Amino acid sequence: MARVLVVDDEPNIVLSLEFLMEQAGFDVVTAEDGESALACVNDAIPDLILLDISLPGISGFDVLEQLRADSDKAHLPIIMLTAHGREVEREKGMALGADDYITKPFSTQALVSKVKALLAETDK
Amino acid sequence: MSITPQHRPRRVQERLVALIILALLLFCPPLLLVIDALPAAGLSWLPLYIFIAWATLIGLTAWLMEDGSKH
Amino acid sequence: MRTDPVILSVAFGYLALLFVVAAWGDRRAEQGRSLIGSPTVYALSIAVYCTAWTFYGSVGRAAEHGPSFLLIYLGPTLAMLMAPLLIRKMVRIAARQRITSIADFISARYGKSSSLGALVALFALVTITPYIALQLKAITVSHAVLVNYPDSADTSLVDEAFWMDKSFWVALVLAVFIILFGTRHLDASERHEGMVAAIALESLVKLIAFLAVGIFVVFVMFEGPGELFSQVAATPELAQAMSLESVPGGATGWVGMLLLAFLAFFTLPRQFQVLVVENVDEQHLKRASWLFPLYLLAINLFVIPIAMAGLLLGGLSGDPDSFVLTLPLSTGSEGLPLLVFIGGLSAATGMVIVETIALSTMVSNQLIMPLLLRSKRLHLGTKGELAGWLLGIRRVAIVLILLLGYLYHALIGDAYSLVTIGLVSFAGVAQFAPALLIGLYWRGATHQGATLGLIAGFMVWAYTLLIPGFVQSGWLDAGLINQGPWGIGWLRPYALFGLEGWDIYTHSLLWSLLANVGLLAGVSLFTRQTPLEQTQAALFTEAMNPNLQATSLWHGKTTQGELRELLSRYLGMPATRRVFAVSTNQTTTSLSPTLDDNEQPASTELITRAEQALAGSLGSASARVLINSVVRGEALDLESILSILDTTSQTLEYNRRLEQKSQELARIGEELRGANERLRELDRLKDEFVAMVSHELRTPLTSIRAFAEILRDGENLPDEKRRHFLGVIVHESQRLSRLIEEILDLARLESGRLTLNPQPLDLAHLARHSVDAIARLQENRGVTLKMQLEAEPAPIIGDPDRLEQVIINLLDNAGKFADDTAPEVLLRVYRHKKHYRLSVEDNGPGISEDERERVFEKFHQIQQHEEEKTRGRPKGSGLGLPISRGIVAQLGGRLWVENATSLDGASLIMELPEAPPKEPASSEKPIAT
């Protein structure tokens, strides 16, 4: 069973994502900030990360950058979640190597199908 | 506002006119009578006064003219 | 040492040196490496002012008349102070119009009048000849003193034949010198470089000689100035020697003499020559304006000590005029007296040289040339012939002037002491001053006014000074002075109209200047100027106008051929070629005149230059006559000149305004740039704010949408979950609407549209009320909330709803940041000076110094510590504190952060002014809520 890491500092958003992923049949791990997210990646070894950008401490961009720099985890699929709707940020995220970029508020169905598609792609 | 080059010659001229008036005051009777009336042992103070005033004026003119010519 | 052969060989050796220096100076000038192109040489050449009269006569005058001798030098000091203003103007005019002498200058000012020029030249000749005689006399006397000492010098003079008189031979040598170095060029307005170099050298020699004798007297004959003056102090008859009392005429005489020396400095022909005609560069006036006065000061420094020493050692020789020589002679010194003699010789020769050049130029250009030009026969002279004539005339004039001076000296020179002749001459030339100086500044001064003023001034001068001088020489009956002519008392020359008690020079100066200035002004006001006179008057008075020089002043027409013929007849071919070379250089490439060129009309510049060239050689009046003879048409009239001047001044004014405007524009531009910068910054802040707001709004919206979709799609959700999710949606919706409320508040606050409802209220009461409202919430969070009301009631003015919002916000914040394990919050209300304060403290980690202002920034979130986050505390929007601060500020209070005093954490303090005491009833009345 694939494992998804949800990183966000808003408890209610984490709650909703956790529910959605579990419903879709994934194992879910959560983290509230960048540092614990990095720790989780090492401990729980997720298959995909839903990563919020504005986190306290290390930002989502930093987490993304560090993971992409690490050869072991460089191919880990990552979907960025953000409340910043600006085009610049989207481009920055994609440039840093995010697999997808989803703006809050998002469509739950679209999110779930994106996650599934990405996981299927990496399985091949 | 700083003094622009156009203002400077006029300023030098104004100072020169002030200097001329000062010279007239120094060399004319009201002041001379005062100096002449000072009690003196021997000669009057008048010549000494004139030489000092004279030298001062020359010094001031030199300062004004040579300083001004640099600009 | 004091034998005649030694003295004569030294004296004539010195004159030979002058020839060498002058020749060297001329050689250098020809090579283009001018010796005199320095302001110092210029200042030294002006020192030709100090003649033998200064050298010998100053001591004499100091001995007889106290400090009055100084006035002769204070006057020029004043004049030189004005040099950058006054003399500069004269120099500029002279250079532009090729002025050759003071007579030429005055003549040019009054419409190039040949009669006025002739008058000035004639008067100058009459006035200055005795002065030249005086120099020759000084040479004779000093020589006699030197040879005959200790016998009296006077006896040896009378009976000798003129060829035994050394001054005759000196005069002859000088004539040769002046002819050689003073008439090299036909153009008298050109510099006499060699002569000026020699004059500068002479100035140095006489200064060194005088300082040497001064130092000798003070430090060798006496033991320094201290001893000299203590001896003077011990001599009762010398006590008043240097006070104003010994000055002839007292204070009035003082002022008169000062004025006399001041005026004469401008009008002495030799001073005009060195100051104006020989000036190479206007800028030299700056240095000269203080260096020359310094020279005067130096040469006068030892006059009083020498005079006093001479009087102390009284009777060593009768004549104080000779103290300079007799004092060193009395000690048996041999070399020093010889040096003094050379110094005196240099002072005398310098004066004679320059004065003779100036006078001979005047005589040839103002007296003789105009006469020659009237003679028709001369107009037919062949080419270049007149140039030779002119130089010949000048050379003859030089010899005649010197001869005249010598005759005057030989015949009547003994009657006066040196200073007396000098002062009479001064008063004579001072008559030129009104026409010269007033003409420089008053455009309305006319030719008739100047002429009549000059004549009247001279007549009064002659009557009050010259003729009485003849009386004192014994040529006329003494009754003239004592009883007046024909016994008419009020006509006595020394007490005209009964004015008695003045010294004779001030007396003469007063009456002569009164007549002179009075007629000049009076007649000018009632006479009319010719067009040429108007033009010249405008050119003189407006000489400093910067755009004038570029203007061509001729409107008339002639051909180049005619002009060429005229110039070559009077100036010779080389000079003519020079005049034409400049112009053809500009217009055509060919330098040689062709037949074609001769038929060409002459340009206005060429005519102007031709007139200038003629003026430099013949004087402006003659040049004018000659140009008129070939040019048909007129010079620029007054109207044109005035319009040039007006345009110029208008342009200047316009430029000034433009400059002002552009400065203003630059300033406004600067301001605009600043404003733009601020706007950009504001724009950036606004963008940031919008981004922040959008971010903050999206967060609750995300939860709401997510759960709403989960609820929509999940039909078989358990009830418990369904309720939980609905609860989240409701909570997030509330958060959203609160956020929107806050954003609106902030927007209203910032635009100043937040309407408050200020009323008197009790802050303590309000605090109690707020604590009640939040107590439950805090209790749920486990926060211990304490209240300490130290001032009750605390009357202030405020909006109760808004203030409650602020207090609750503060309490809520404090609760969030208080310690984790045992969170504590303390609210205090207390009085501070004329204010009431409400502080909210917590026991959290506190706020660091640099964070304290930033917590009031919009959307600022204090970085929470790791463990705090895990506790899942409700986060603020980051707008509460900025809004609170805005509300408090609008109520006239302050809100800031400090360290907590009772607890360990931060303390937020709100301060509001005490309400003014009203009627007791209203202040105690509790608020409605």
pLDDT at C282: 86
3 state SS for C140-164: HHHHHHHHHCCCCCCHHHHCCCHHH
Q: Which residue has the higher pLDDT, B3 or C140?
A: C140
Task: State residue C753 phi and psi, 5-degree precision.
Answer: -105, 10
Is pLDDT at C381 greater than 60 in this prediction? no
Collect all residues of chain C within an 8 Å Cβ-Cβ radius of residue A9: 869
Of C691, C699, C707, the CB nearest to A10: C699
The pLDDT of residue C802 is above 70: yes
Query: What pLDDT shows up at residue B68?
Result: 53
Domain annotation covers residue B1: no
In this predicted structure, what is the pLDDT of residue C588? Answer: 43
The beta strand positions in C584-687, using DSSP E, are: none
> C700: part of which helix (H) or strand (E)?
helix C638-713
For residue C384, pLDDT beyond 70: no
Which residues of C make CB contacts under 8 Å with B? 67, 70, 74, 77-78, 81-82, 84-85, 229-230, 232-234, 238-245, 251, 254-255, 258, 283, 286-287, 289-291, 293-294, 297, 301, 304, 308
Does residue B64 lie in a domain region?
yes
B44–chain C Cβ distance below 8 A for any pair: yes
CA distances (Å), origin C394, targets A1, C190, C401, C618, C857: 130, 15, 10, 11, 97
As given in the structure block, the two tokens for residue C809 are: 């916000």
Q: Do chains A and B touch (3 or more CB pairs under 8 A)?
A: no
Q: How confident is the model at residue C611 (pLDDT cuts 50, 70, 90)?
A: confident
pLDDT higher than threshold 60 for residue C37: yes
| CA C63 – CA C241 distance, rounded (Å) | 7
Secondary structure of chain B: what % helix, strand, coil (to 5)?
75, 0, 25
In a domain, B23, yes or no: yes
Residue C652 pLDDT class (50, 70, 90 cuts): low
Q: What angle do CA A70, A76, A79 make, to 5 degrees?
A: 120
Q: Is C711 exposed, middle or buried (0-12, 13-18, 19+ CB in 10 A)?
A: middle
| pLDDT value at residue C864 | 45
Q: Which residue positions in chain A have pLDDT lower than 70?
A: 85-86, 123-124
Q: Which residues of C touch B36 (CB under 8 A)?
A: 243-245
User: What is the structure's pLDDT at C120?
Assistant: 94
Which residue's entry shows tokens 């510049």?
A: C605
**B29 reaches C (C-beta below 8 A):** yes
Closest CB from A12, A56, A109 relative to C869: A56
Query: Could you give the number of structural domains in chain B?
Result: 1
| Rounded mean pLDDT, C321-345 | 86
Categorize the per-residue pLDDT at C921 as very low, low, confident or very high, splitting at 50, 70 and 90: very low
Q: What are the DSSP calls for C556-614, one per residue?
A: -B-BHHHHHHHHHHHH-HHHHHHHHHHHHHHH-S--S--HHHHHSBPPHHHHHHHHHHH
In the block, tokens 């010294």 appear at: C503
Residue B45 lies in a domain: yes
What is the model's pLDDT at position C587? 45
**d(C-alpha C333, C-alpha C716), whole Å:** 143
Q: Give residue A65's pLDDT.
A: 87
How wide is the angle at C-alpha A116 spanned by C-alphas A111 and A117, nearest 5°? 100
Region for C249 from its dihedrals, namely left if φ exceeds 0, alpha if ψ lies in -120 to 50, beta otherwise: left
- Residue C596 confidence class, pLDDT cut points 50, 70, 90: low
Chain B with chain C: Cβ pairs closer than 8 A: 98
Q: Do C286 and B54 touch (CB under 8 A)?
A: no
**Segment (H or E) for C744:** helix C719-751
Is the pLDDT confidence value at C557 over 90?
A: no
Axis-axis angle for helices C114-148, C620-630 (nearest 10): 150
* Residue range C861-894, pLDDT digits in tens: 654 443 444 344 445 667 788 888 888 888 888 8
Taking the alpha carbons at both ends of chain A, their separation in whole angstroms is 15
The CATH number for A81's domain is 3.40.50.2300
* CB burial readout C792-803, b (16+ within 10 A) else e: ebbbbbbbbebb
Average pLDDT, stretch B13-17?
87
B46-50, C387-391, C770-774, C913-917: range with lowest mean pLDDT: C387-391
> How much is the ipTM here?
0.93
C417: phi then psi, degrees, rounded to nearest 5: -80, 170
* Mean pLDDT over the full length of chain C: 81
C785's enclosing H/E stretch is strand C784-789
Mean pLDDT of C699-719: 88
Residue C324 and residue C326: Cα distance in Å, rounded?
6
CA-nearest of C281, C354, C359, C276 to C98 is C276
- Give the whole-angstrom CA distance, residue C37 versus residue C817: 87
Q: Are strands A48-52 and A78-82 parallel, antiparallel or unpaired?
A: parallel
| Full residue range of the structural domain in which residue A12 is found | 3-123
pLDDT band at C293 (very low <50, low <70, confident <90, very high): very high
Asked whether the beta carbons of C859 and C784 are under 8 A apart, the reply is no
Average pLDDT over residues C53-71: 86
Candidate ranges C24-33, C376-385, C446-455; pick with highest mean pLDDT: C446-455
Strands (E), A19-119: 27-31, 48-52, 78-82, 100-103
Q: In order of start, what are the domains of chain C with their CATH numbers?
A: 4-249+268-374+382-414 (1.20.1730.10), 431-547 (no CATH), 551-636 (no CATH), 650-749 (1.10.287.130), 755-924 (3.30.565.10)
Total tally of structural domains belonging to chain A? 1
Render pLDDT for C776-800 as a digit per residue (tens, 0 to 9).
Answer: 888 888 888 888 888 878 888 888 8
Task: Give me the percent of chain C exceeding a pLDDT of 70.
Answer: 86
pLDDT score of C552 more than 60: no
**CA–CA separation, C637 vs C726, rounded Å?**
106
Amino acid found at C85: L
pLDDT of residue C237 exceeding 70: yes
Look at residue C471 in the predicted model and tell me its pLDDT.
Answer: 77
Per the domain annotation, does B27 fall within a domain?
yes
Q: Kindly list the residues from chain C whose CB atom is less than 8 angstroms away from the CB atom of residue B42.
A: 229-230, 232-234, 238-239
pLDDT at C668 over 80: yes
Output the pLDDT for position C379.
Answer: 54
Domain boundaries, position B47: 10-69
Please report residues of C whose CB lies closer than 8 A to that of B27.
74, 78, 258
Q: Quick one: C554 exposed, middle or buried, by C-beta within 10 A (0-12, 13-18, 19+)? A: buried
